[in-house]
Amino acid sequence: MEKNRDKSVLVTGALRGIGRAVSLRLAAEGYRVVLNYRGDGEDRANELKSEIERLGGAAGIIKFDVADKDECSRALGEYLKSNQVFWGIVLNAGICRDGLFPVMSQADWTSVVDTNLNGFYNVLRPVVMPMCKKREGRIVVISSVSGLIGNKGQVNYSASKAGLIGAAKALALEVASRSITVNAIAPGVIETDMTESLDKTIADMIPLKRFGKSEEVAALTAFLLSEEAGYITREVISINGGLH
């Protein structure tokens, strides 16, 4: 869509699962998508960039680990020196390290909180001020139903995802006067690598009797980034097949 050509959107954890679907969807809607990856994902990032370009879209690439504050600040600071301010940020990168709390290692607690919750600070802190100066924009945070209801075996993950909701709602208040919206999406069980090892009979507990698709989360994300969603802020929108 021509109307989005001048808007760039950063998607963290863009190479797999929901992040990949969001990136492809936003590119199809005409946004310039800036694909974040970490570690040795360079080849896969280039492949996704080429795929988007083959489909007629535009993409850039940015490497940082969302759990590493200094790396985020360096990479995003460099990026903003020579590129336009982001219209949108999709904070998607996340991990789970499930296990019952009484035997949960500190490493499993810390890595999940560092990625899912501290990632909010690490990624948004360098980019929010420029967005405020531009006085427009959209921030979409991928939380989880686990953050709303708590989930057995996911005390670390539920804590991080609930924290994200609080952070998003508070930030929404701070930036509302700059016409920036901040919303959270709380997916239920979505078919990705993250849920690959789950017992498929879990679907029987979901009213719609199936796992969700990344493309369905991408469609909701695209809506929240759109001009049409400009009066929606400080909300948590769940996409869960009736599971909550």
Ligand X SMILES: NC(=O)c1ccc[n+]([C@@H]2O[C@H](COP(=O)([O-])OP(=O)(O)OC[C@H]3O[C@@H](n4cnc5c(N)ncnc54)[C@H](OP(=O)(O)O)[C@@H]3O)[C@@H](O)[C@H]2O)c1
Q: Which residues in this chain contact ligand X in the complex, by CB under 6 A?
A: 12-13, 15-19, 38-39, 41, 65-67, 92-95, 115, 142, 144, 187, 189-190, 192-195
Q: How far is the CB of 208 from ligand X (least distance, A)?
A: 14
Specify the residue, 13 or 227, whose C-beta has the smaller distance to ligand X.
Answer: 13
Residue numbers annotated as active site: 157
The Cα–Cα gap between 143 and 92 comes to 8
The Cα–Cα gap between 37 and 173 comes to 29
Residue that is written with structure tokens 């006085």 in the block: 135
The CA-CA-CA angle for residues 184, 49, 134, to 5°, reads: 50
According to DSSP, residue 194 is labeled G
Cα radius of gyration rounded to whole Å, the chain: 17
Q: How far is the CB of 110 from ligand X (least distance, A)?
A: 12
Which residues pair with residue 90 across a beta bridge?
Answer: 11, 140
Sequence-distant (≥ 6) Cβ neighbours of residue 244 within 8 angstroms: 145, 148, 149, 188, 238
Specify the residue, 13 or 137, whose C-beta has the smaller distance to ligand X.
Answer: 13
Specify the residue, 132 or 206, whose C-beta has the smaller distance to ligand X.
Answer: 206
Specify the residue, 41 or 137, whose C-beta has the smaller distance to ligand X.
Answer: 41
Q: How far is the CB of 196 from ligand X (least distance, A)?
A: 8
Q: How far is the CB of 63 from ligand X (least distance, A)?
A: 9
Q: How far is the CB of 135 from ligand X (least distance, A)?
A: 28
The CA-CA-CA angle for residues 23, 211, 214, to 5°, reads: 5
Reported in sequence order, the residue ranges of the chain that DSSP labels E, i.e. its strands, are 8-11, 32-37, 58-63, 88-91, 137-142, 180-187, 236-239
Specify the residue, 135 or 244, whose C-beta has the smaller distance to ligand X.
Answer: 244
The Cα–Cα gap between 128 and 133 comes to 9
Specify the residue, 91 or 131, whose C-beta has the smaller distance to ligand X.
Answer: 91
Q: How far is the CB of 4 from ligand X (least distance, A)?
A: 23
Q: What six digits make up the tokens of 93?
A: 């990168």
CA atoms within a 13 Å half-sphere pointing along the CA-CB vector of 113 = 10
